[in-house]
Amino acid sequence: MKHPAPKALLSLFAGLVFSASSLAAEVQVGVAANFTAPIQAIAGEFEKDTGHTLVAAYGATGQLYAQIQNGAPFEVFFSADESTPAKLEKEGLGVAGSRFTYATGSLVLWSATPGYLDGSDAVLKANQYKHLAIADPKTAPYGLAATQVLDKLALTEAVQGKLVTGQSIAKTLHFISTGNAELGFVALSQVYKDGQLSSGSAWIVPAELHTPIKQDALILKKGEHNPAAAALTEYLKGAKAAAIIKSYGYQL
């Protein structure tokens, strides 16, 4: 039996490498700021398992929506609500039938100071702080949820002069972590990992105090024919991604 010459083997190997690399693609993703840490953790596993590369840009859901309307190159959108992806789909900017809920978020009142919050709403109701940070309720679903909590607790008027508003939930977290606000409402995923707070102190807001924060994903028209876009949305439905998402305090 004749064995292939070394040159032939090298040529075959090079062909296989080229073939595999030619199947790999890049996908541009617009990601709601609360999902920054999970998508970064998922990205490495996604690339390792599929060969595709994920390139993400982060911001408030409303800001990302405006960018998509103005021609941003995003091929997949991970929103912090249900309504924005539904709107994009209705407007013809999303691929019909590709929308699904990838996570349900939790709202938390957080302080960078350990022991400042005791796991309840007592400090919020005592109203002895100077500044309370929230995300802009017009563009950030977690900001809207924060205003609903304040309404339910009859605190809206009492805290009005103390509110510090971030353009996104990431900016809101920055206000609190730098001490510009003693406390504020952020996404649990920003300050939580593997069953515990990463720092500071908190009150995890009961879900009944605000509208459920169901977060939907959507393949956008720009990604309709990109295999990496379809692969990413399927990957988010798998067990490995689910474990990562849950580890940041989301419900599935």
The 3-state DSSP composition of the chain as helix, strand, coil percent (nearest 5) reads 45, 25, 30
One fold for 25-104+213-247 and 106-209:
yes
Q: What does the pLDDT profile of the chain (252 residues) look like in tens digits?
A: 555 544 544 444 444 433 344 478 999 999 999 999 999 999 999 999 999 999 999 999 999 999 999 999 999 999 999 999 999 999 999 999 999 999 999 999 999 999 999 999 999 999 999 999 999 999 999 999 999 999 999 999 999 999 999 999 999 999 999 999 999 999 999 999 998 999 999 999 999 999 999 999 999 999 999 999 999 999 999 999 999 999 999 998
Residue 130: strand, helix, or coil = coil
Residue-level pLDDT at 87: 98
Domain spans in the chain, listed from the N-terminal domain onward: 25-104+213-247, 106-209
Residue-level pLDDT at 23: 73
8 Å CB contact between 242 and 104? no
Q: How far apart are CA 233 and CA 252, in angstroms?
A: 15
Q: From residue 64, give the alpha-carbon distance in Å to each of 50, 84, 105.
A: 26, 10, 18
Task: Write the Ramachandran bin of 53: left for phi over 0, alpha for psi from -120 to 50, otherwise beta.
Answer: beta
User: Which residues make Cβ contacts (< 8 Å) with residue 187, sequence separation at least 6?
Assistant: 34, 80, 105, 106, 107, 108, 142, 169
Can you give the C-alpha Rg of the chain in angstroms?
22
Residue-level pLDDT at 24: 84
Dihedral sign for Cα atoms in the order 102, 106, 111, 115: negative
Residue-level pLDDT at 9: 45
Residue-level pLDDT at 40: 97
Q: How far apart are CA 44 and CA 209, in angstroms?
A: 35
Beta strands in 64-120 (DSSP E): 76-78, 100-105, 107-111
Q: What is the CATH number of domain 25-104+213-247?
A: 3.40.190.10
Residue 121: strand, helix, or coil = coil
Residue-level pLDDT at 18: 38
Please provide the distance, in angstroms rounded to a whole number, between the alpha carbons at the two ends of the chain.
Answer: 57
The pLDDT tens digits for 8-60 are 444 444 444 333 444 789 999 999 999 999 999 999 999 999 999 999 999 99
Q: What angle do CA 66, 35, 31 make, to 5 degrees?
A: 30
CATH class of 106-209: alpha beta
* CA-CA-CA-CA dihedral for 243, 248, 251, 252, to nearest 10: -30
